[in-house]
Structure 1
Amino acid sequence: MAAPILNPACPGSFALPYGVRSGLQIAFNGLVKHKNKDFVINLLSGGNIALHMSFRWEKDKIVAINAKIDNAWGNEIRHSNPLHHDQAFDLQVRVYPGHFHITTNGVLLGDFPHRLPFESIGAISLEGNVHINNIQFSQFH
């Protein structure tokens, strides 16, 4: 299992040397910063984005989930944004054979079908106004 990534820089990209496989949980522990600022967490597959999670406050208080393949965005799936400014959060992404299962603070945010083979994911990127304390990797059953 990969070692945790501690206090990753934002913006920044981080390689996943062991890749992604079914049964992997990626857990992000962080703090939402200042009001009216968005942040993004991506799982990257080469030049593509296999999973794009955009936490938004500026226009609508939503989480937009999508994928970008060959420079084209797919259909965006929107959920109500459960996070609050100046609040700590735990975000878990579980990899199942057919989809990602995403929870925030133990509550289901949503499932997102794989649009690219999850085995092709090789990095994580962070953007925007968020502080991530750590990114941890574990197996779930």
Structure 2
Amino acid sequence: MALIPVPYTKYVSLPVGSFVKIKGTPAMSFSMNPQLQVDFHTEHEDDSDIAFHFRVYFNSCVVMNSCQCGSWGEEVKSTDMPFKNGQPFELGIMVLSKEYQVIVNGCQYYTFPHRLDPGSVKMIQVGRDVSLTSVIIA
């Protein structure tokens, strides 16, 4: 299966009811501190507001946040780590009316309340230390 170039950027619309499915594998051993980052931007620029920031520090924790007018909000952090060293993952992010619901390998793990209107999202970026096999927006 062909790999998708990282960082991956796609212009999108993510109204309530949308679902983002990302399949990939950490690109290195967890002992080397790899990361995965998913950002839902409100404009087509890298420095635009981020309605949802999802960052996995594979060896330790998951951090979720948002960025508005250049200022980051309060981090939501979890040490619940469903990702496995060297193993492929399927990451799903469902846009619900009040929150984002994050599903890893078929199990719901995290939620993050909307701080910015999810309908304002115009670009998704996926990057850091991962090999991506698919990114599907439905």
Superposition TM-score, scaled by structure 1 size: 0.85
Q: Match for 2:136: what amino acid?
A: Q
Runs of 4+ with deviation above 2 angstroms? none
Tell me the amino acid that sits aligned with residue 20 of structure 1: L
Q: How does 1:98-137 map to 2 (within 5 A)?
A: 98-137=98-137
Q: What does residue 26 of structure 2 align with? A: 32
For residues 56 and 102 of structure 2, what CA distance do their matches in structure 1 show?
A: 13
Report how many residues are paired. 129
Code of the aligned partner of 1:123: M
- What's 1:51 paired with? 52
Q: Structure 2: state its 5+ residue gaps.
A: none
CA distance in 2 between counterparts of 1:7 and 1:23 reads 27
Which string of whole-angstrom CA distances, capped at 9 and with x for unpartnered residues, describes residues 69-112 of structure 1?
11111111112222122110111111111111111011122111
- Structure 1, residues 35-88: CA drift from partner, whole Å, max 9, x if none? 221121111112111111110046xx1010111111111111112222122110
**Higher percent of residues as strand:** 1
* TM-score normalised over the length of structure 2: 0.86
Deviations 1:119-141 (A, max 9, x none): 11011112210011111123xxx
Aligned to 1:85: 85
Q: Distance in 1 between matches of 2:3 and 2:40?
A: 18
Q: What runs of 5+ residues in structure 1 fail to find an aligned partner?
A: 1-5
The percent identity for this pair of structures is: 21
